Structure 1
Amino acid sequence: MPPRRIAVSMAFLLNGYVVGNWAPRIPGFKAGLGIDEAMLGLLILAFGVGSLVMMPLVGAAIARDGSQRVLRALTLCLAPCWLLITLAPALPVAFAGAFLFGGVIGGMDVAMNSNAVSVERSMRRAIMSSCHGFWSLGGLIGSATGGLLLGRLGGTAQSVVIVVACLALLALTWGAILHDRAPAQEERQPLRLPRQALPWILGAMALFCMIPEGSVLDWSALYLRSELGASVEVSGLAFAAFSATMAVMRFTGDPIRDRFGAVRTFRISALIAAAGLVTAGFAPAAPVAILGFAAAGLGIANLVPIAFSAAGNLPGLPPGVGISLVTFLGYSGMLFAPSLIGFVAAHVGLGPVFATLPLLYLAVFGLAHHARSADMGDAGH
């Protein structure tokens, strides 16, 4: 595997690892600050807002300087921002830490996806799905080991491990991150939102793909528990099955895209995702719903990576700008839509919600031809 591919894959792994470590840290974070669930919700919102604010700024920086320098800078900021939020002595510092931590995580997301597009171009083959697979693997490792470290050694030990991991991976990959400085004519372009429709269409496709993903994350366990009568242990298997099949498919998705092309892969994936969610929504019992969520993970796995590759290969648009727009719109859906779904579910139940979400995948099925630029990068154009 070429060093440039290893380097960008490790950036995805590190980002997922830190995010995975954050999840088991939240209860202790809440207790340490002495806050209630409502205030914790605002802190988590500050994390999301920080991500969304940083994404377009990072896109502009990449259009000017290329993704290598930006990715290095944000990776350097990862450990200090982790320490700022986890060691916050008071609520105002915690809010600042959450905003900055979210900004670095979201900005890194744009930078590493942009660098992955450049690596795809240089290798003339797809790598985006496996990069997202490394993110999923990092999240799995982080959540598993983070909880273990917290339980046995405490928060300080967890933070030391994270800082060491950040510095070690950065040192190992510093010289291998692909240099993709933007052309001079792109640097002189005025900073503005894209005027052509295609980047916005790809952003809408990412939005439609990530709304169901966020819904499974936030609501699948409650659906199995409250509407299908599953135990606490069984209810957690819904998202576990979804995550497992997604991770496996992301590591196998690049050869599939190389073989069948981005548009056909996108369409087939959308249909599989829709069928899985329909199965889950109409499931008569928890095991059937778990199988449905597992099938949905198989389908969803490659949709967003293809959308990102397509956005990074649009003619006449710097990769950082296209990816930042698609990332911003996609993660907006993942951040805010689950709250709206909770309101709807309170009136009609979660089963009908999961059975209706596939309509979004039918929409992206119809828009799939707009993702053909993902193959341009693979072909070296």
Structure 2
Amino acid sequence: MRTISPKSETFQLQLLFFVFAIFIMAWVPRFPEVKANLGLSNGQFGTLISTGTLGALASLFLTGHIVHKFGTKIVILANTFLMSAALISIVQTKSPTLFLIFNVILGWGISGYHIAVNAQAFNSIERVKGLTIARLHGMWALGALTTAVLSGLIVSYVGLALHIGGVAVIMAVLIFISVNKLNPVLVKPNEDSEEHLPIRTLFTSFRVDWLVSGGLLCAVFLEFATGDWSAIFTKERIGVSAGLAALPYIFFMIAMIAGRLGANRLSQIFHIHHTVRFLSFAGGTGFIVFLALAVNIPSEHKYWALLATCLAFTFAGAGSSLLAPTFYTAGNRRSALPSAVVVGQMGVVNNTAVFILKACVAWTAEFSGSLAIALVIPALMLIATAFFAKVLKVD
């Protein structure tokens, strides 16, 4: 029987997180081109992008139970196929209607993969010493940074469809190879009738841990807003080239990676709830201060404005770094349900709220005429994360 060493298991699991980020984030720095292709305003584009949440919600509601019944392998591979097909299609269409359909499919695929790979991560942590959710999410951030840098370098030389289509195919192949190597330790289909979760438990077992869900929402929304709006803000408001417009997102991801990969050292020095309070307050406040500075610098000094924008998103990345994996870990610790179901249920609440908040940010930008004002909303939410930190205390 084929086996896999803990070292190899750790590497392959980190690779699944790393590749996942490249897969779904490669097109983010090219959002200005996607928006131009569709001929939409900021409000219209922001609302259309948020429709991916519809597919994500359906996936989050069902996939935890699917993972429990069929195992992680089939779920990861099936959703990899969905993401590939949706991304290849979405960057070629100029029809908002088709974009909406493909975006809903993409949302389903992303959430399905997210649940399955995190369920596998919680399973592996029980066996592999030193493996943490923060480190795995750090590898995700490293993948997002890698694809942001590459996108910034090639945006002027490689067409949108060729770039994203090529990434989708290559990443899908890497995922299939990695899943095959991990096969001996992947979560297997449930064969114990006593642990079976019938379809009615989709409703009867659904529980909302309001402290964990509220903290997670406040913690991650600035990350969502950064992905959606940083390149558009930098290109349209600051007035730099498409290549330079990716810089704030890159700085955001560098700060996030540093925080997540350094999580173990921080946890040995400070209590996690104190760390979360400090990071959320410093990250949100720093973001607001430097963003305000950026929009008040005269247009003839746009590179100084670009620097201030990069500093704003650096504070945001550092402040957000540990928060999401920390709240996911707390949610899993506080529930008796399988980890895949817990991740899915947390995602249902989170994505429902994100769907509404994304539209709020988009239309705040539309009606106020200022994307900077709209971005204050997720910054204030990041600061508010401090009020949920008590749920992270471990007795």
| Structure-1-length-normalised TM-score | 0.78
1:274 aligns with 2:295: no
What is the match of residue 303 of structure 1?
323
Paired residue secondary structure (1:339): helix
Paired residue secondary structure (1:122): coil
User: Residues 28 and 227 of structure 2 are in contact (CA less than 8 Å); yes or no, is this contact kept in structure 1?
Assistant: no
What is the match of residue 202 of structure 2?
191
What is the match of residue 110 of structure 1?
115
Q: How far did 1:304 drift?
A: 0.6
Q: Residues 36-55 of structure 1 correspond to what in structure 2 (within 5 A)? A: 36-37=39-40, 44-55=49-60
Q: How far did 1:29 drift?
A: 6.3
What is the match of residue 250 of structure 2?
240
What is the match of residue 349 of structure 2?
329
Q: How far did 1:167 drift?
A: 1.6
> 1:358/1:74 Cα in 2 relative to 1: closer, same or farther (>3 Å)?
closer
- What CA deviation, in whole Å up to 9, does each residue of 1:135-185 have, x standing for no partner? 223233334445738834773575345313312332233231543345654
- Identify the match of residue 180 of structure 1 among 172, 179, 187: 187
> 1:124/1:367 Cα in 2 relative to 1: closer, same or farther (>3 Å)?
farther
User: Residues 276 and 295 of structure 1 are in contact (CA less than 8 Å); yes or no, is this contact kept in structure 2?
Assistant: yes
User: Residues 20 and 140 of structure 2 are in contact (CA less than 8 Å); yes or no, is this contact kept in structure 1?
Assistant: yes
Most deviating of 251-260 and 266-275: 251-260
Paired residue secondary structure (1:232): coil
> 1:242/1:22 Cα in 2 relative to 1: closer, same or farther (>3 Å)?
closer
Paired residue secondary structure (2:120): helix
1:369 aligns with 2:390: yes
User: Residues 142 and 254 of structure 2 are in contact (CA less than 8 Å); yes or no, is this contact kept in structure 1?
Assistant: no
User: Residues 284 and 383 of structure 2 are in contact (CA less than 8 Å); yes or no, is this contact kept in structure 1?
Assistant: yes
Paired residue secondary structure (1:2): helix
Most deviating of 80-89 and 235-244: 80-89
What is the match of residue 9 of structure 2?
4
Structure 1: give runs of 5+ residues left out of the alignment: 376-381
Q: Residues 1-381 of structure 1 correspond to what in structure 2 (within 5 A)? A: 2-23=7-28, 35-37=38-40, 44-86=49-91, 94-145=99-150, 148=154, 151-152=157-158, 155-156=161-162, 159-160=165-166, 162-176=168-182, 178-181=185-188, 184-188=193-197, 190-192=201-203, 194=205, 196-198=207-209, 200-219=210-229, 230-232=238-240, 237-257=247-267, 260=270, 262-280=272-290, 283=293, 286=305, 287-288=307-308, 290-344=310-364, 346-347=367-368, 359-372=380-393
Q: How far did 1:300 drift?
A: 0.5
Percent of aligned pairs with the same amino acid:
19
User: What letter corresponds to residue 186 of structure 2 in structure 1?
Assistant: H
Q: How far did 1:317 drift?
A: 1.8
How far, CA to CA, are the matches of 2:235 and 2:87 in structure 1? 33
How far, CA to CA, are the matches of 2:380 and 2:325 in structure 1? 20
Paired residue secondary structure (2:26): helix
How far, CA to CA, are the matches of 2:100 and 2:207 in structure 1? 37
> 1:140/1:282 Cα in 2 relative to 1: closer, same or farther (>3 Å)?
closer
User: Residues 12 and 131 of structure 1 are in contact (CA less than 8 Å); yes or no, is this contact kept in structure 2?
Assistant: yes
Paired residue secondary structure (1:188): coil
User: Residues 69 and 196 of structure 2 are in contact (CA less than 8 Å); yes or no, is this contact kept in structure 1?
Assistant: yes
> 1:105/1:333 Cα in 2 relative to 1: closer, same or farther (>3 Å)?
same
How far, CA to CA, are the matches of 2:269 and 2:289 in structure 1? 28
> 1:75/1:87 Cα in 2 relative to 1: closer, same or farther (>3 Å)?
same
How far, CA to CA, are the matches of 2:51 and 2:228 in structure 1? 18
How far, CA to CA, are the matches of 2:120 and 2:387 in structure 1? 29
User: Residues 273 and 300 of structure 1 are in contact (CA less than 8 Å); yes or no, is this contact kept in structure 2?
Assistant: yes
Structure 2: give runs of 5+ residues left out of the alignment: 1-5, 298-304
User: What letter corresponds to residue 131 of structure 1 in structure 2?
Assistant: L
What is the match of residue 302 of structure 2?
none
How far, CA to CA, are the matches of 2:70 and 2:23 in structure 1? 26
User: Residues 206 and 330 of structure 1 are in contact (CA less than 8 Å); yes or no, is this contact kept in structure 2?
Assistant: yes
Q: How far did 1:24 drift?
A: 6.0
What is the match of residue 378 of structure 1?
none
> 1:37/1:101 Cα in 2 relative to 1: closer, same or farther (>3 Å)?
same
Paired residue secondary structure (1:132): helix
| Structure-2-length-normalised TM-score | 0.76
How far, CA to CA, are the matches of 2:20 and 2:311 in structure 1? 29
Most deviating of 49-58 and 144-153: 144-153
Q: How far did 1:93 drift?
A: 5.5
How far, CA to CA, are the matches of 1:149 and 1:88 in structure 2? 18
User: What letter corresponds to residue 265 of structure 1 in structure 2?
Assistant: T
